[in-house]
Structure 1
Amino acid sequence: MNYCLNLLLICFSFTTNSQELSYSTQDIAINNLIDGTLLTPNDGDKPRLAVIIADSGPTDRDGNQNFLRNNSLKKLAEALTNKGIATFRYDKRIVKQIRKNNVDPNIKFDDFVTDAISVVDYFKKDNTYSSIYVIGHSQGSLIGMLAAKDRADGFISLAGSGQSIDKVITEQIGAMDPSLLEATKKAFESLKSGKTTTDYPPPLAPVFRADVQPFIMNWMQYNPQEVIKSLDIPVLIINGTNDLQVSVDEAQLLKVASKDSEINIIEKMNHVLFIIEGNQLVNSKSYNESSRKISEKLISIISSFILK
């Protein structure tokens, strides 16, 4: 496929209240790997743009994976654009590869960083926007930090980890099964030294299988605290108290590292940006409940940060 930059423009007319704006929609191919959706407010000249980067795995531009449809990032993008902020969200490269049944077995974490940089650079060259902000969700937080450095005008970490991925996984495994803790540490020590390993018990195979190890080796070299500390732009850190995957403690680690940053902890918000009133089962089920609304407080906090 060539590097097609043709835009497919589809205009939508919305019935809005007095606080909302109508917007237009464009599907854009950034390059042969990255396709996304740009929402642009119809009112105003040279709006601010928010680039939204998704979580780990084959997560698409709307925040969905196979059998898990919540449309969380689509809802975030639409809500921000109704506040007067242009938004661009895109499918991770692996989404396109899966759809074409042509997955790259050698994909690296750095490939996702390269893609995010390509997106930011595309819109900087376009010169349509007064400023560009990067919003990174979960794994996308670290990717977004790296892409925003020396390029963006602001950065927002949404449910981002404050520790390197090896430490995150070690803590999670230790909490689930303490008997696997030492084996986990030993396997990561091997990866840290640049060597793959087969010395781990069968229950750890999903984490340390051979095809995953190179990706993790690449990913674990980045310490989010060091990266966020290096950003010389406004930074906003957000987490929810009902996040089953990334605890509030992770947000606090990022805040300590980025002393001038703002931090907001949203009560009862979960990992996919919904307000959860029920128990853990209700929380887990919400990952596949696209009828839910995302947190209104989240929308207010992000839009205020970008527009101030």
Structure 2
Amino acid sequence: MLRTILFAVLLGIFTHAEAAPSADAAIALSTPTGQLHGALLLPAASGPVPAVLIVAGSGPTDRNGNNTLAPGANNSLMLLAQALSQAGFATLRYDKRGVAASAAAGPSEAALRFDTYVDDAAAWLRLLRADPRFSSVAVIGHSEGSLIGMLAARQTKAAAFVSIAGPAQGAADVLRQQLAPQLPAELAGDNERILRALERGETDNAVPAPLAALYRPSVQPYMISWFKYVPTRELSTLAAPALIVQGDTDIQVGVAQAQALQQASPAATLLVVPGMNHVLKTVPAQMPQQLASYSDPALPLAPGLSPAIAAFLHQHAK
């Protein structure tokens, strides 16, 4: 049976009030290709406090959860960091290499690998662990950051892991499901051939023109490095306590994905937040409201989200 934390119950679990958090402090991580930049938010507390690394999602998504492809900001991850700081946690969120303030550290497309993102997250975790201000280190990963976060958490033996809106399927299967209904039979066959080659760790040099933008030669090595990881399989080997969080009005990742993650790791706790969408706001499933929420920083986090995460982290990341 699923160990599901009900949203209504959690509204009253963690209500301990803290003083307002301090302002963001700039923090940087040196890498062989340049510095990565982030923001450290400290709680108003004395003595060592637990620290949490927040890993953003895919594409050009910055430390605050904002994607440059959207017309405005939603600030979802910044709001989460502030809420956790008020609950007594230090939080570190960062711009991935190639994004925002870390743009200069981005390698060429042909040189980029998914493992690079994992290694970066693990390096941030080690930086936090070496800081005497922090008593423990946990990881929160949002969307694609869920997979990055769970791999980095395993690599560094983090105290706890939280997946928010994380897919359960491997990226190759996601592409299969998204593309197959849209492609004519011949191209669907080409798409499957290419995906199978990439899953075997092989490049494909016979990509037809209509698929060239997706499977261009410079991006295939990245896809090979990405496809080898299946979130359900990786989560099943994670020793750290895990919380799986999913909103039921998320138009990008469905509740079934969260349930599949929990089934792969029965010791994990599943939290389904009614009305929460992919950017962690309370939004109905209708497309106009969904799209507007991606660019509305005034919308608060879904009620109960941060208290539930804080309660879990206080239990496992002291």
The structural deviation recorded for 1:103 is: 4.7
1:61 aligned residue? 63
- Deviates further, 141-150 or 171-180: 171-180
2:87 aligned residue? 83
The size of the alignment, in residue pairs, is: 292
Aligned equivalent of 1:265, options 264, 272, 276: 272
Tell me the TM-score normalized by structure 1: 0.88
The structural deviation recorded for 1:67 is: 4.6
Classify the secondary structure of the residue corresponding to 2:225.
helix
1:142 aligned residue? 147
Going from structure 1 to structure 2, the CA distance change for 1:102 and 1:190 (only over 3 Å counts) comes to: closer
Unaligned runs of 5+ in 1: 1-16
Aligned equivalent of 2:120, options 108, 115, 139: 115
Classify the secondary structure of the residue corresponding to 2:138.
strand
Contact kept, 8 Å, 1:137 with 1:160, in 2: the verdict is yes
1:165 aligned residue? 171
Contact kept, 8 Å, 2:52 with 2:140, in 1: the verdict is yes
Going from structure 1 to structure 2, the CA distance change for 1:278 and 1:56 (only over 3 Å counts) comes to: closer
Classify the secondary structure of the residue corresponding to 2:214.
helix
Alignment of 1:282-301 (within 5 A): 282-301=289-308
Unaligned runs of 5+ in 2: 1-14
Going from structure 1 to structure 2, the CA distance change for 1:297 and 1:291 (only over 3 Å counts) comes to: same
Aligned equivalent of 1:303, options 304, 307, 310: 310
Q: Which structure is richer in relative contact order (CA contacts within 8 A, separation 6 or more)?
A: 2
Instruction: Point out 4+ residue stretches in structure 1 off by more than 6 angstroms.
Output: none
Q: Equivalents in 2 of 1:266, 1:44: separation in Å?
A: 33
2:17 aligned residue? 19
The structural deviation recorded for 1:278 is: 5.3
For residues 195-247 of structure 1, the C-alpha deviation after alignment (integer angstroms, 9 at most, x for no partner) is: 22244454433421222211111000111112111111110001111111111
2:39 aligned residue? 37
Contact kept, 8 Å, 1:97 with 1:104, in 2: the verdict is no
Contact kept, 8 Å, 1:97 with 1:103, in 2: the verdict is no
Tell me the TM-score normalized by structure 2: 0.85
For residues 235-285 of structure 1, the C-alpha deviation after alignment (integer angstroms, 9 at most, x for no partner) is: 000111111111111111110111100001111211111111251122122
Going from structure 1 to structure 2, the CA distance change for 1:239 and 1:126 (only over 3 Å counts) comes to: same
The structural deviation recorded for 1:80 is: 1.0
For residues 49-85 of structure 1, the C-alpha deviation after alignment (integer angstroms, 9 at most, x for no partner) is: 1100000112211111225221111111111111111
The structural deviation recorded for 1:286 is: 1.6
Contact kept, 8 Å, 1:67 with 1:288, in 2: the verdict is no
